[in-house]
Amino acid sequence: MSAHRHVVPPRADKGHLKVTESQLREWGEALGRAITPPLIVTLAGELGVGKTTLAQAICLGYGVNGDITSPTYALVQEYAAPRSVVFHIDLYRLEFPEQLTNLGWDEIVSCRSLVLVEWPERAGERLPADHLPIDLDYVPGDPTRRILLAG
């Protein structure tokens, strides 16, 4: 697997990782433009923190055209893009990592594509070690910003 140049959020070198939704979208699009497949990107954080918003921005930057919807009920969405297929997976409804087999997990994570995984902790040991982790969190007392930790 080729090395990936990680996109560092603005002001990260100064410890300021708090971003607005528009900054999160801008950062996600920049990350999408910089990605070279194959790559698995995990998006962790509480309900409503912005994981799907970030996934949509990454997809846009990566070149996906058309509607990019949440895979909450479908569990897996597949999108065409110029560089590779994009798989957007939401593991929220899974109770055990063994259920990944029914989603075609092994085939998805081994293909040469971009894979975005929400709720990655539900994959347990089946999550490949060489993924790009991104964590989002709420900023206490500021509902307009999120904390973004990447890489």
What CATH number is attached to the domain comprising 36?
3.40.50.300
How many domains does the chain divide into? 1
CA dist 146 and 43 (Å) reads 13
Residue 9 lies inside a defined structural domain of this protein: no
Give the global pTM: 0.87
71 lies in which domain range? Answer: 19-126+144-150
Residue 110 lies inside a defined structural domain of this protein: yes
- In this predicted structure, what is the pLDDT of residue 64? 97
Secondary structure of the chain in the HEC alphabet? CCCCCCCCCCCHHHCCCEEEHHHHHHHHHHHHHHCCCCEEEEEECCCCCCHHHHHHHHHHHHCCCCCCCCCCCCCEEEECCCCCCEEEEECCCCCCHHHHHHHCHHHHHHCCCEEEEECHHHHHHHCCCCCEEEEEEEECCEEEEEEEEEC
Residue 135 lies inside a defined structural domain of this protein: no
pLDDT in tens, 29-69: 999 999 999 999 999 999 999 999 999 999 999 999 988 88
pLDDT at 15 over 80: no
Residue 32 lies inside a defined structural domain of this protein: yes
- In this predicted structure, what is the pLDDT of residue 151? 75
What is the sign of the dihedral through the CA atoms of 57, 59, 62 and 66? negative
Residue 5 lies inside a defined structural domain of this protein: no
**pLDDT, mean of residues 3-11:** 48
Residue 91 lies inside a defined structural domain of this protein: yes
Confidence of residue 14 (pLDDT cuts 50, 70, 90): very low
pLDDT in tens, 98-127: 999 999 999 999 999 999 999 999 999 999
